[in-house]
Amino acid sequence: MAFRLSNNLVGILNLITFILSIPILGAGIWLSREGVTECERFLDKPIIVIGVFLMVVSLAGLIGACCGVTWLLWLYLVVMFLLIVLGIVFTIFAFVVTNKGAGEVLSGKGYKEYRLGDYSNWLQKRVTDEKNWNKIKSCLADSKVCTDFREKYLNDTVAEFYQEHLSAVQSGCCKPSNDCQFTYVGPTNWTKTNGVFTNTDCNLWDNNLNTLCFNCRSCKAGFIDNLKSSWKKVAIINIVFLIFLIVVYSVGCCAFRNNRRDNAYNQGWKP
């Protein structure tokens, strides 16, 4: 059986993928054993699944292309086709879901504020679910986003603080809403005013570093806005990945056709 260029190319690409799957699988196993926080443990299973999946699929493509195992190459192509379809669906979904919502510009302030109701219903449901939000809060606490925020702006006067360009998570989770009209003492230290608040987040604010506004709707909105930016970047990267998958799939189809011709030739049939 004569090896053709397409078979060799598929073999090389899958060999590279197989090698890359080893550290991914190793990282997942390491996290499952050494992960201390819930945020770290939350990542171990998806990473292990991705590592195993890449390893199995790349082996199927490698053996199918280089050893002439037609049914393995057929299985490999089916999986690749499903990956392409799922990739297209995810990319469209990511752009649709993240298309709605943006920070609100405040007069005289360098930062924006974020309203949960401005974002897509699907994303709102994800963060308003208590179980999901507890995991997200754990990750935010592990990242020390508000501790770093406090240390960075600790010496700011009120005028200086209001001109700072804060991230969505810092604005939503680490300080009270502008609606509350609290008195500034420090970045995470505000004096509450008496009265009835129209914004329910004002009642949830606490100067305790472990509480702050982590239970506020503004914090959930800030997290969504940050997630929105990340998803758009992932969607763009996914387009490049889809082009790569389509090229590999096309080469794989050529290799599959070569295998069938070689099998027919070896059995005395006309190709």
205, with CB counted inside 10 A (0-12, 13-18, 19+), is buried
Please choose, from the candidates 94, 99, 139, the residue with its C-alpha nearest in 3D space to the C-alpha of residue 234: 94
Amino acid type, 270: K
Domain coordinates of the chain in residue numbers? 1-99+232-268, 104-224
CA dihedral 202, 203, 207, 210 (to 10 degrees): -110
Predicted confidence (pLDDT) at residue 261 exceeds the cutoff of 80: no
DSSP letter, residue 144: T
Q: How far apart are CA 175 and CA 173, in angstroms?
A: 6
pLDDT digits (tens, 9 = 90+) for 78-125: 888 988 898 899 888 888 888 887 888 988 899 999 999 899 898 899
- Two structure tokens written together for 107: 């007069």
pLDDT digits (tens, 9 = 90+) for 136-177: 888 888 888 999 999 999 999 999 999 999 999 999 999 999
Residue whose entry in the numeric block shows the structure tokens 């770093």: 148
Is the model's pTM score more than 0.75? yes
